[in-house]
Amino acid sequence: MDQVFKVDPVTQLRRFAYLVTPNESSFETLEEVPDYIVESLPYFTISVILEAVIIGIRDKKWLRVNDTVSSISAGLLMTAVKTLFKSLEILAYIWVYENYRIFELPWNSAWTWVICMLTFDFAYYWFHRAAHEVNVLWAAHQVHHSSEEYNLSTALRQSVVQHYTSWIFYVPMALAIPTPVMLVHAQFNLLYQFWIHTELVSSLGPLEYILNTPSHHRVHHGRNPYCIDKNYAGTLIIWDRMFGTFQAEGEKVVYGLTHPLNSWNPVWIQVCHFTHILKTVWTTPGFGNKLSVIFKGPGWMPGTPRLGNPEDIPKVSAPVEVYNPAMSVWLQLYVAFHYFVNQAVFTLYLDNHQYMGYVIGLACCLYVVYTLTCIGSICDNKWYAPFIEIARCILVVGFDMIYLSNKSVPELSFLPSSLRNGIHAGSVVFWLLFLTLSKTEKIKDS
């Protein structure tokens, strides 16, 4: 755990705001580049809790357990997949840099650092715009927009597959910019976008003309007609102002997708729009139209402009009714308990995965997916939730008794016995409560 917490809070705050110097964030080799995202995981959690406390005290409005867990679960899934297939997203960049670079900017130059910051942010703008205007790319990116809330936890709602397509937009940088420099800015650009997912900050004054701010990004997450396809910026809003996609915040923003998913299933949230595209392609006549379904805008249909007909966007105004199946306080405590246990185990896994074989790592990630799916089914009030949840609890206890207690899987020795015993005790007590409450509340398929 020491590795995860080695960053002091002030340094982490500067990283969130992109207030780092070239000297402290320039590296010659890929092996030297820190995993800033993993190091930030504890600070993500602290920031989400702190924001929730402030909003709760100020507005008497509390975070919804189901939405918050759903958002952070998407982030965990994305991190798990990146841990298993980390090299894939930078493999093309390395190959182009090693074989086709036109010239080599020095890795330790402040000018290289600044050029990379601007170039990466410019490339991000065009990737982000494409992710909204190309249906197959939107299928991945819609995960981030699926929350009907807007808070710091929303920033963690990420697609599992998006970074396997976004690299295409950054490869041209490999003609001159060293891979370690690019990787540093890829992480800082993402970290910067964490803190702008909040309603606590109304305006930053003159900085609104230059930086992407919470106000600008609230518009981007809106489903009001005036918000659609606006403010694609990562760090600098100047790109939107230059290319005609800027929109200032106006009427109260209604967040989420134009057609809400109404589900907390983490896997379904990731794949739902891909299935929608396949069904639409199958039913749309004409080969050209089928290609258009894939590569034109999400709202396109035969006879409409490339991005669809703006008149077809549902008109909404705040307040709106959001998807929020009823959950008792006890069920929310149950979900919160098992979610935080799962996150603690996953954090330990991230800090030790380099010592594991691929099979063990894959098994750990599949368990995380299963746990999050169980939690999602509970939040959705699905009839099968008690059954898959008891199966999960039995799996955990049985695996520990057969393998971990006898140390048959030494790669998982990072799990302390005290944590395992706590998990077992909590699983039994909380599952009995869950079973009782689920019968009392007559959980059924919604």
Please report whether residue 33 resides in a domain: yes
Domain boundary among the residues 226, 243, 260 is at: 243
Tell me: do 178 and 72 sit in the same domain. Answer: yes
Please report whether residue 45 resides in a domain: yes
Cα gap 88→160, rounded to integer Å: 13
Cα gap 408→431, rounded to integer Å: 27
**Residue 437 in tokens:** 């409450």
Please report whether residue 323 resides in a domain: no
Tell me: do 222 and 336 sit in the same domain. Answer: no
**Residue 273 in tokens:** 């729009």
Query: pLDDT-derived band of residue 2, with 50, 70 and 90 as boundaries?
Result: very low
Please report whether residue 4 resides in a domain: no
Domain boundary among the residues 202, 224, 243 is at: 243
Dihedral sign computed on CA atoms, order 255, 260, 266, 269: negative
Tell me: do 196 and 338 sit in the same domain. Answer: no
Tell me: do 232 and 350 sit in the same domain. Answer: no
Task: Tell me the whole-structure pTM to 2 decimals.
Answer: 0.89
Q: What is the DSSP string of 215-271?
A: HHHHHHTB-SGGGTT----SSBTHHHHHHT------SPPPBS-SS------HHHHHH
Tell me: do 130 and 232 sit in the same domain. Answer: yes
Please report whether residue 364 resides in a domain: yes
**Residue 92 in tokens:** 């093309």
Tell me: do 44 and 169 sit in the same domain. Answer: yes
Least Cα distance to 446 among 320, 272, 261 occurs for 261
pLDDT tens digits, one per residue of 333-359: 888 888 887 877 787 777 777 777 778
The CA-based angle 245-247-253, given to 5 degrees, is 130
CB crowding 33-48: b at 16 or more within 10 Å, else e: bebbbbbbbbbbbebb
Range of the domain at 365: 329-441
Instruction: Please tell me the least confidently modeled range out of 30-44, 63-77, 253-267, 430-444.
Output: 430-444
Domain boundary among the residues 189, 224, 243 is at: 243
Please report whether residue 289 resides in a domain: no
Q: In this structure, are residues 216 and 249 in contact, taking their beta carbons and an 8 Å threshold?
A: yes
Cα gap 381→376, rounded to integer Å: 9
pLDDT tens digits, one per residue of 352-398: 777 777 787 788 888 888 999 999 999 999 989 888 888 888 887 77
Q: What percent of the chain has pLDDT over 90?
A: 62
Written as one letter, the residue type at 62 is W
Tell me: do 32 and 156 sit in the same domain. Answer: yes
Least Cα distance to 144 among 196, 94, 181, 102 occurs for 196
115, exposed or middle or buried, with CB in 10 Å at 0-12, 13-18, 19+? middle
CB crowding 325-340: b at 16 or more within 10 Å, else e: eebeeebbebbebbbe
Tell me: do 76 and 179 sit in the same domain. Answer: yes
The count of structural domains within the chain is 2
Q: In this structure, are residues 253 and 262 in contact, taking their beta carbons and an 8 Å threshold?
A: no
**Residue 40 in tokens:** 């930030």
CB crowding 142-167: b at 16 or more within 10 Å, else e: bbbbbbbbbbbbbbbbbbbbbbebbb
Please report whether residue 278 resides in a domain: no
Query: pLDDT-derived band of residue 283, with 50, 70 and 90 as boundaries?
Result: very high
Eight-state DSSP code of residue 401: I
Tell me: do 349 and 238 sit in the same domain. Answer: no
Q: In this predicted structure, what is the pLDDT of residue 391?
A: 86
Tell me: do 125 and 234 sit in the same domain. Answer: yes
Please report whether residue 402 resides in a domain: yes
Tell me: do 28 and 149 sit in the same domain. Answer: yes
pLDDT tens digits, one per residue of 103-143: 999 999 999 999 999 999 999 999 999 999 999 999 999 99
